[in-house]
Structures are given as C-alpha cells and as structure tokens.
Structure 1
Amino acid sequence: MIPVKGVEGQKVAVLGLGRSGLVAARALRAGGAVPVCWDDNPAAREAADAEGFAVVDLARARAFEGVAALIVSPGIPHLYPQPNPVVAAALEEGIPVDNDIGLFFRSVATQDWHNYEVEPRVVAVTGSNGKSTTSALIHHILVEAGREAQLAGNIGRGVLDIDPPEDGGVVVLELSSYQTDLARALTPDVAVFTNLSPDHLDRHAGLGGYFAAKRRLFAEGGPDRAVIGVDEAEGLYLANQLGEAPGDDRVIRVSVGRKLTGAGWLVYARKGFLTEWRKAKQVGSIDLRQIKGLPGEHNHQNACAAYAACRSLGLAPRVIEKALHSFAGLPHRSQLIAERDGVRYVNDSKATNVDAAAKALGAFDRIRWICGGLEKEGGLDALLPATASVAKAYVIGREAAQFAVQLRGVETEVCTDMARAVERAVAEAEPGETVLLAPAAASFDQYDSFEKRGDDFAACVRAQLGA
C-alpha cells in the first residue's frame, strides 16, 4: 500500500466506496488521516463499517465541518453533466476535491528513493482506445526484460493498493479521462497518449472537454518523455505543444496511419512492420504480423506506443521484440476464444464505441459480426466504411432493430440476445471467416459490464462448439 502523505491528523471525506474508494480510505488511514466515508450503496457502507471506518452521510447539513479534503471515486460526476450534490457542496465550501490518482502522485516518492541506484519511474497511459492493452503490454515487456514492474489504475489494482516501488522499479498506470480530469497532482515520468475518438461526451460536455481531460496528464506535471499518437488532429496538436523544436526527442511521435518523417524520435507501423527512427536514422524494426497476441492495425498502434515507452526506459529493440511474441493479449480485446473448422471466434467486447469497433473490423478479412447494445452518442455512420469485410451482422440488445436499421449496406439479422446471435453465426460461418463480437455500443442494456458480455459470448461459443 502507498500511505498518503501530508494528511496526518486531518479529517478527510471519501465519496464512493468501490474498488478505488475503499483503497483510498485505507491509504489515508495508513498516512495518519481520519477518513469519513459515504456511498449511496448500503452494502458498500457496511463493508467500510466492517473495516472500522466512520460512515457519515456527506449530503447532510454541516457534514463538511472540520473536513480538510474530499476524495471522489472516478464514476461520480464532479462537473458535467452536473456535479454530484456532495461534490457541489464541497465546491461551495471551498473544500479541496481530489481523487486517488492525485493522492498517489503526491505520495509515491519516498526518502528511500534518494538511496536507490536507479530511481523508480511512473509510466501513465491515457487515450480513447487501446490504453488497457498498451498498459498491459508495457508491463509485460518490462517483466519479461527482468525489470520490477507493477500495473495499476484503471486496470489491475487501485493505484494506492500497490507496493512502494523498489530500486529501478516501474509503475505502469492506465488512466481514464475520469481519473485525469480531477487529479490535483499528475507527474508521470513517461506519459502516453494513444488516440482520441468521441466517448464519454456527456461527462465532459463535448469532445473539447474530453480532450482537455486527457491533455491534463501532459500539461500539469510535464513528463520527462511523452509518447503521442499523431493520427488525429488532437495528437498532432499535443505533440506540437510539448516539443520545443522539430528534433526535440522528449516527444516520441507514433502512427499507424502513415510513414513519419522528420528529425525527431518517431515510431510507426506500416503494412505490419514497426519502424523506429531517431536522429534521422532507422534504429529498430519489428515484423508485427507474426505476433498472435496483437492482431490488426489497432493493436499495431498499441505495440508502437508500448515500444516507444519501453525504449524511453532504456530497453533494447530486440528485448522488446522478444517480449511482444509472448504477449497473450487481454480478455475481451481481440481475444481468440476458439478455432474450429477454419473459423475463428474472437471476443472484442471492449469495443464499446464506433472507433474501437471499426478498428476491430479492420483486423479480419471476412466477418460474421455480432454487434449492438446501448448505443452511444453520434450514431453509427462513422462505422459504415469499416463494414466492407462484414459478411453478415447479428444484432443484439434491447434496441436491436433500431441498431440494425443504421447498418446500411450490411446484411443484418435481429437476434436480440447473445445465445441466438452466436447460434446463427456459428451455423452460417464458413472456413476462413471470423465470428467477431465487436459491439460498437455499451453493455448496460443487457449486462452489468463489457466483461460480463464477453464472458457470455465465450460461453455461448463453447456451448455451440461442444467445447
């Protein structure tokens, strides 16, 4: 655990007692604070009470008397579409509002670091799509290279739940826009921006607010190195803002859209080959086509970002290449579930928005596509150019018929539930095709999470195949 610094003897309120909130309360107590906790869920309050925390309704009058700060869990709105009433009360009274990410960055460094031969490093990854795979891939490469590394944040453990890093250790954090938007301290050594596509727009009052939340990771603390995906205008702008000159290699530009040129530090993938250029010379090249855990252009982008981050930490290209081959991928992200009679069954339940689904579709040649769910803002028009490889779509979700109507030019079948969709796709799939779950929608109309949806897909596939 990372005990929180600078809170000894202070009364600190914690709103939201899920995974990150309860860990924050423990870390605050370990740092000498007196946490007072609240969650609208009675079960969460009971869990906090069982650990000896004071449970106080923070919405009641004078709840903030003597409170030094409010720590808010990432799922609780603090500004848009409107602040949670407890957050609004704290803002009104001038109580500093923070989250566990802010507490981590102000607490992770210890006096022991001055005695280490190599100071620990923090790598933080954000972006719209691919940040989980990129984070896990960086962690995997470091471990395979013999480096002490921990994975936390929006993936794995809560940031305050990890062990204090040892000599030369690396902490790899996946950070969502919800986390970067509120944190009062953001000081990674290496910061990674994968890409940007419309998502969570209601929470950030539009695309500009969403990008601004991501940008804070780079603007607030000034990382020693920034790895920036430049295939969107926002990434190009961010890279330009951070670089002092064309050859400034504190910024590593990454692309899978084109060959990058210039005097800077560049990593790009074209036709399945990753290339690294530095000081106008090629210094590394990897054939990504043979790496089974990273299929498709979107995973090649993840590989480029992870490669660049690991190169900035001093790892050699051949060490990174060897580790890439042993990466098995993450569940629910281009995950191969089964292969039978020449047909592959792939679970990409994490493709919850149009951009992620388009990238998933681009990874395979002929697809039996299972899609649908709780549709996000913006409709499906931007997805249509990626559907050329779709032999047929099997649409699930409560509004499956409405979803199917938007897939113009694609043969569709309204199946509504996963079992029916998998049954029909398995029955019609031919050798050389891929049955792909890439919903292009949230899961909450039928499932508690995208993980539950992916697990259901896998179970249905196995049932149909008799596996």
Structure 2
Amino acid sequence: MIPVKGYDGQVVAVLGLGRSGLSAARSLRAGGAVPVCWDDTPAAREKAEAEGFEVRDLGRDGGFDDVTCLTVSPGIPHLYPAPNPVIARAWAAGVPVDNDIGLFFQSLGTETWDDFDTIPKVVAVTGSNGKSTTAALIHHILVASGRETQLAGNIGRGVLDIDPPGNGGVVVLELSSYQTDLARALTPDVAVFTNLSPDHLDRHGGLGGYFAAKRRLFAEGGPDRAVIGVDENEGRYLVNQLSAGRGDDRVIRVSSGQKLSGPGWDVFARKGFLTEWRKGKQVAAIDLRQVKGLPGAHNHQNACAAYAACRTLGLAPRQIEAAFHSFAGLPHRSQIVAEVGGVTYVNDSKATNVDSALKALLAFDRIRWICGGLQKEGGLEALTPGFDHVVKAYVIGREATQFSLGLQGLDAEICTDMATAVARAAAEAQPGETVLLAPAAASFDQYDNFEKRGEDFIDKVQGLMR
C-alpha cells in the first residue's frame, strides 16, 4: 500500500467505492487522513462501513463543511456530459477535486529514497488502443530481465494498492483518459502515448477534449523521456510540442508502417521488422514476424513503444528481444484461444471500437469474423480496408440486423448470440482460416463488459473440443 501524504488529521471525502475508491480510502487512512465515503449503491456503502469508514451523504447540505479534498473514482463524470451533483457541490464549496492517480504521484516518493543507489521510476502508458498490451509488455520485459517491477492503474492492481518500490524498482502504469483528465499530480519519469482514435467522446466533450485528457500526462509533469506514436496527427503535434529541436532525444518517435529518419531517436516497424535509429545510425533490429504473442501491425506498434520505453530504462536490445518471444499476450486482445482442425480461434473482444477492430482484421488473412454489439458513433465505414481479409461475417448483438447494414460488400449472417455465431463459423471454416472475435462495438447490450463477452467466446470455442 502507498499511504497518502499531505492530509494528516484532515477530512478527505471519497466518492465512488469500487476498487479504486476503497483503495484510496484505505491509503488515506494509512497516511493519517480521515476518510468520509459515499456511493449511490447501498451495497458499496455497507462494504465501506464494514471496514470502519464513515459513510456520509455528500450530496446533502453541509456535506463538505469540514472536507479538505474530494477524491473521485474514474467512472464518475466530472464535466461532460454533465458534472456529477456531488462534484458540483465540491466546486461550490471550494473543495479541490482529485483522483487516486493524483494521490499516488503526490505520495510515492519517501525520505527512504535518499538511501537508494538507484531511485525508483514510473513508466505511464496512455493512448486509445494498445495501452494495456504495451504496459503489460513493458512489465513482462522488466520481469524477464530481472528488474523489480509492478504493474498497476487501469490494469493489474490499483495504483495505491502496490507496494512501495525498492531500490531501482519500476512501476508501470496503464492510464485511461478518465484517470489522466482529473489527476492533480502527473509526474512519470517515462510517459508513453500509443495512438489516438475517437472514443469516450461524450465523456470529454468531443475529440479535442479526449486528446487534451491524454496530453495532460505529458504537459503537467514534464517526463524525463516521452515515447510518442506518430501515426496520427495528434502524436506528431505532441512530438512538436515536447521537442526542443530535431535532435532532441528526450522524445522517442514510434511508428508502425513508416520509416522514420532524422538526428533524433526513432523506433519503427516495417514489414515485420522493428528497427531502432539514434543520431542518424541504426542501433538494433528485431524480427517480429515469429513473435506469436504480438501478431499484426497494431501489436508491432505496441512492441515499438514497449521497446523504446525499456531502452530508456537501460535494457539492451537482446534482452528485450528475448522477452518478446516469451510474451503470451493479454486476454481478450488478439488472444489465440485454440487451433481446431487447422482453424485458429482468436479472441479480440477488447476491439470495442472501429479503429481497434480494423487493426485486428488487418492482422490475419481469411477471417471468419464475429462482430456486432452496441454500436458507437461514427458508423462502420472505416472498417472497409479490412474487408478484403474477411471471408464472411457473423453478426451478434440485439441490433445485429442494423449493424450488418454497415458491412456493405461482405457476406454477413445474422446470428444474434455468441453460441450461434461460433457454431456457424466453425461449421463453415476451412483449414488455414481464422475465426476472429473483433466486435467493433461495446458489449453492454448483451454482456456486463468486454471480458464477459470474450469469456463467452472462449467457452463456446472450448465446447467445440469437448
């Protein structure tokens, strides 16, 4: 646990008592603060009371009279589409609003660090797609190289649940826009931006607000090193904002698909090969084509970002390459579930938007594509470049018929549920083909989350082997 500093003897309110909320309350108490907690859900309030926390309705008059700070869970909107009423009351009372990420950065360093030979570091990863895989891959490479490391944030453990890092320890954080948008302290040593595509637009008031939330990770604290994906304009803009000039190697440019050149520090992947260039010279090259845990151009971008981050931490190219080959990938992200009768079954349930689904389509050939769900804004037209890889689509979701209308030019079968889709795809698939779940849609019309959807796919695939 990371005890929260700066609030000894002071009342700090906690809004939202899920994983991060309760974790924040515990860490506040460990640091000497007096947490008062609130959640709209009675069961959550009861759980907090069972741990000895005071529960207070922060929406009532006078709820903030003695409160120094309000800590908010990431799922609670604080500005768009409308501020949560409790947050609006905090504003009116002049109470600063923060989240567990801000408390973490505020509290991580201790006086014991003066005795360390090597000060611990924090690597923070954000972006639209690939941030989970990139963060997990960085952590995996560090573990494989014998470095002390912990993985937390939007993946793994809550940031305040981790152990205080030891001498030379590295904390790897995956941070969503919900987390970076509100944190009052953001001071990673290495910050990584994978890419940007439209997502969570209602929460951020549009694409500009969404990018602004991501940009805060780089603008607020000024990391020692920044690893930036430059395959979109937002990444190129960010590089320009952070670089002092063309040869500034504090910023490492990353790309999948384009060769980068110049006097700075670049890592890019083309035709399955990762290449590192620094000061106009090639430093290293790695063949990614045989790395099973990182299939496709989108995962090659993740590999480049993780490679660059680990290079800033002093790891050698050969160490990183060896770790690539032992990386099994993450559940629900290009996860190979089984190979049955020469047919490969891949679970990419995390492909909840068009951009991530397109990358999944481009990673494989001869695809039996299971898609559909709660469709997001913007339509499906951007998926068209991947249709050449699709033999047939099997559409699930309550609005499967409507979803299929956006798949013009594809042979599409309305299946509605996962069991039917997997059965039909398996019956028609030929050796050498891939049955791919890459929904290009949210899961909430049929499942609690994308993990449940992926687990259902896995269960149905495993049923084929029973």
Settle same-fold status: TM greater than 0.5: yes
Gapped regions of structure 2 (runs ≥ 5): none
Q: 1:364: which partner in 2? A: 364
* C-alpha separation in 2, matches of 1:40 and 1:393: 41
Which residue of the partner structure matches residue 103 of structure 2? Answer: 103
Which whole-Å deviations, capped at 9, do the CAs of 1:110-165 have from their partners, x for residues lacking one?
Answer: 11111100000000000000000000000000010000000000000000000000
TM-superposed CA distance for 1:68, in Å, is 0.3
Q: Give the letter for the 1:295 counterpart.
A: P
Is residue 229 of structure 2 the alignment partner of residue 244 of structure 1?
no
Structure 1 moving runs of 4+ over 3 Å: none
- The AA in structure 1 aligned to 2:30 is A
Cα shift at 1:42: 1.2
Instruction: Indicate the residue corresponding to 1:33 in structure 2.
Output: 33
- SS at 1:159's partner residue? coil
2:166 pairs with 1:172 = no
Is 1:316–2:316 an aligned residue pair? yes
Letter in structure 2 aligned against 1:455? E
What is the identity, as a one-letter code, of the residue corresponding to 1:22?
L
Give the AA of the match of 2:5: K
- How do 1:41-52 and structure 2 match up within 5 A? 41-52=41-52
Aligned to 1:262: 262
Give the structure 1 partner of residue 23 of structure 2: 23
Using the alignment, how far apart are the partners of 2:375 and 2:94 within structure 1? Answer: 38
Describe how 1:367-446 pairs up with structure 2 within 5 A: 367-446=367-446
User: Please, what TM-score do these two structures have when normalized by structure 2?
Assistant: 1.00
Shift of 1:27: 0.3
What code does the residue aligned with 2:337 have? Answer: I
Structure 1 match to 2:86: 86
Amino acid corresponding to residue 406 of structure 2 in structure 1: Q
1:286 equivalent in structure 2: 286
Matched residue SS, 1:311: helix
2-structure distance, mates of 1:19, 1:386? 37
Query: Which amino acid is 1:308 matched to?
Result: A
2: CA distance, partners of 1:394 / 1:372: 8
Q: In structure 2, give the amino acid aligned to 1:35.
A: P
SS in 1 for 2:289: helix
Aligned CA-pair RMSD: 0.5
| Deviations 1:230-262 (CA, angstroms, capped at 9, x unpaired) | 000000000110000100000000000200011
| Counterpart contact for 2:227–2:305, Cα < 8 Å | yes
1:202 and 2:232 correspond:
no
Q: Which amino acid aligns with 1:352?
A: T
Query: Residue 457 of structure 1 aligns to which amino acid in structure 2?
Result: F
CA distance in 2, matches of 1:42, 1:409: 50
Residue deviations 1:77-122 (CA, integer Å, cap 9, x gap)? 0000000000111112111000000000000001111110000000
> How many angstroms does 1:289 deviate by?
0.3
AA of the residue aligned to 1:37: C
Q: Deviations over 1:20-70 (max 9, x none)?
A: 000000000001000000111111111100000001111111111100010
Amino acid corresponding to residue 210 of structure 1 in structure 2: Y
- CA drift at 1:15: 0.3
The offset of 1:465, in angstroms, is 2.9
Taking the aligned partners of 1:221 and 1:257, their CA distance within structure 2 comes to: 30
2:276 counterpart residue number: 276
CA distance in 1, matches of 2:400, 2:340: 28
* 1:426 partner letter: A
Give the number of aligned pairs: 466
User: What residue is the counterpart of 2:463 in the other structure?
Assistant: 463
Secondary structure at 1:83 match in 2: coil
1:159 maps to what in 2? 159
Q: Which residue of 2 aligns with 1:330?
A: 330
Matches within 5 A, 1:204-243: 204-243=204-243
Instruction: Tell whether the 8 Å contact from 2:138 to 2:172 is kept in structure 1 after alignment.
Output: yes
Provide the secondary structure at the position in 2 that maps to 1:182. Answer: coil
Q: Once the two structures are superposed, what CA deviation does each residue of 1:198-238 show, in whole Å capped at 9, x if it has no partner?
A: 00000001000000000000000000000000000000000
Cα distance, 1:383 vs structure 2: 1.1
- Residue identity in the other structure for 2:443: S
Letter in 2 for 1:241: Q
What SS class does the counterpart of residue 181 from structure 2 fall into? helix
- In structure 1, distance between residues paired with 2:417 and 2:340: 23
Identity of aligned residues (%): 77
- Cα distance, 1:388 vs structure 2: 1.1
Query: Residue 457 of structure 1: SS of its match in structure 2?
Result: helix
CA offset digits 1:252-275 (Å, max 9, x no partner): 000002000111100000000000
Name the structure 1 match of 2:307: 307
Equivalents in 2 of 1:92, 1:296: separation in Å?
50
Equivalent-residue separation in structure 2 for 1:350 and 1:181 (angstroms):
22
Could you give the per-residue CA deviations for residues 402-448 of structure 1, whole angstroms, max 9, x where no partner exists?
00011011110011000000010000000110000000001111000
Asked if the contact 2:257–2:271 (Cα under 8 Å) also holds between the matched residues in 1, the reply is: no
Unpaired stretches in structure 1, ≥5 consecutive residues: none
2:262 and 2:163 map into 1 onto residues whose CA distance is 41
Deviations 1:351-384 (A, max 9, x none): 0000000000010011000000111111111112
- In 2, the alpha carbon distance for the partners of 1:387 and 1:88 equals 46
TM-score, L = length of structure 1: 0.99
Cα distance between partner residues in 2 of 1:384 and 1:41:
43
Residue 387 of structure 1 aligns to which amino acid in structure 2? F
Distance 1:233 1:132 in 2: 22
Residue 464 of structure 1 deviates from its aligned partner by 2.2
